Amino acid sequence: MQMNSNILFVEPPRNFWFVMGEYLPPPSALLILAAYVERELPGIDIDIVDCQADRLDWQGLERYIESANPSMILTSGFTTNTYSCARTCEIAKTVNEDIVTIVGGIHFSFTPEESLQSFPEIDYIVRGEGELTVVDLIKTLENKGKISQVQGVSYRNNGKITHNPARPLIENLDSLPYPAYHLVEENLKRYHFTMMAGRNTRYMILEGARGCEHQCSFCTQWNHWGSRWRTKSAKRIADEIEFLNETYGGVFLWFSDDHMKLSLRENSER
């Protein structure tokens, strides 16, 4: 299929977590999603702008969007980053109101109704696991198909907020590609976490597993991932570590796992 979209993943300017001292993290969720979109929709032109690493403020982001001229922008938010995601979408719409704005991540997954009410600049919210849904959504937008058939999406339909049914989770996490660090290769030397590994140690994030079976009342993660713990195989995790280290010189590798359950990867090769 010929794809015309030019999509821009945006890591917006953010406030830092002062408790953790001085650090610059890679935009892990965007790298994981971009890798999947790139593999499944090879005709699509994909770019990632990381405003932290490129030291872009809001004006800089606006200029970047103007020159990239994307047809869609995608951004990701924890609760603390909600306003920066909304502002990113607002800027995109100021540059060109035809740019389709898509957000996802933990905060928007839990608050789709409230978020679509509060932020008219957001067109689509991808709830929960993003890979399959975002590919389906991009294809459907490209083909001018029926958004009502895209599972896991919330959106405005003739002014009415609509929440399509949830999408089942991916059963085999080994089927996911490695995160698309090649799309931020220029920035790799900048990612670091001083308190954990020093100023000059290359910091990368990878996933071994998603979710958790416990249900701590203060935690959003178990609910976000359907109260299940799914893991990649031990071999896949080892291959991914080797790949990040050998290809990109990643030395401080931070596992994003909600629960490590190291001893319980019993179905995996050791």
Give helix then strand counts, H and E, for the chain.
Answer: 9, 13
Task: State CA 134 to chain mean position distance.
Answer: 10
Of the two residues 189 and 214, which places its CB atom closer to ligand SF4 in the complex?
214
Say which residues have a Cβ less than 8 Å from residue 126's Cβ, sequence separation at least 6: 102, 103, 104, 108, 109, 133, 134, 137, 152, 153
Least CB distance to ligand SF4 at residue 214 (A): 4
Question: Per-residue string for binding with ligand SF4, 205-244, x by CB under 6 A?
Answer: -------x-xxx--x-xx----------------------
User: Which pairs count as long-range contacts for 222-226, CB under 8 Å and 24+ apart, including other chains?
Assistant: 222/258, 223/110, 224/106, 224/109, 224/110, 224/128, 225/128, 225/129, 225/169, 225/258, 226/128, 226/169
Of the two residues 163 and 261, which places its CB atom closer to ligand SF4 in the complex?
261
Of the two residues 70 and 105, which places its CB atom closer to ligand SF4 in the complex?
105
Task: Tell me which stretch binds ligand B12 (CB under 6 A): 97-105, 143-151, 154-162, 231-239.
Answer: 97-105
Task: Tell me which stretch binds ligand B12 (CB under 6 A): 63-71, 143-151, 153-161, 213-221.
Answer: 213-221
Of the two residues 156 and 259, which places its CB atom closer to ligand SF4 in the complex?
259
259 binds, among ligand B12, ligand SF4, none (CB under 5 to 8 A by kind): ligand SF4
Q: Does 134 bind ligand B12 (CB under 6 A)?
A: yes
212 binds, among ligand B12, ligand SF4, none (CB under 5 to 8 A by kind): ligand SF4
* Residue ranges in 27-81 assigned as alpha helix (H): 28-40, 58-68
Residues numbered 25-64 forming contacts with ligand B12, rule: CB under 6 A: 25, 27-29, 32-33
**From the list 17, 21, 172, 260, which residue makes contact with ligand B12 (rule: CB under 6 A)?**
17
3-state secondary structure 183-195: HHHHHHHHCEEHH
Say which residues have a Cβ less than 8 Å from residue 174's Cβ, sequence separation at least 6: 232, 233, 236
Q: Which residues bind ligand SF4 (CB under 6 A)?
A: 212, 214-216, 219, 221-222, 258-259
